[in-house]
Amino acid sequence: MAVFRGVSRLSRLLGACCLLAASQAHAADPPVLMSPAWAANFCQAWNQTPELAKGLSGEWLHDDKGRGYKIVQMYRNDCGAAGTVELKIVPKDGQAWCSYGGAPHTPADFGVDFLMHATTSDWEAMGRGDPGPMWAMMSGKLQFQGPKLVAMRAIKPFASFLLLLGKVPGSSASCPAN
Q: What pLDDT is attached to residue 134?
A: 77
Q: What is the mean pLDDT of residues 17-31?
A: 54
Candidates 144, 136, 85, 89; CA nearest to 114 is 144
Pairing of strands 95-102, 143-145: unpaired
Across the range 93-119, mean pLDDT stands at 96
Contact 119, 76 (CB under 8 A): yes
Would the pLDDT of 25 be above 90? no
Q: How distant, in Å, are the alpha carbons of 82, 95, 169 from that of 49? A: 28, 11, 15
Distance CA 165, CA 51 (A): 14
pTM of the shown model? 0.82
In angstroms, rounded to a whole number, what is the distance separating the alpha carbons of residues 118 and 121?
A: 8
- Looking at the predicted structure, is the pLDDT value of residue 9 above 90? no
Q: Check residue 30 and report its DSSP letter.
A: P
**First vs last C-alpha separation in the chain:** 54
Q: What is the pLDDT of residues 121-157, one digit of tens each?
A: 999 999 998 877 778 877 888 999 999 889 888 989 9
Q: Where are the beta strands (DSSP E) in 17-113?
A: 70-76, 85-92, 95-102
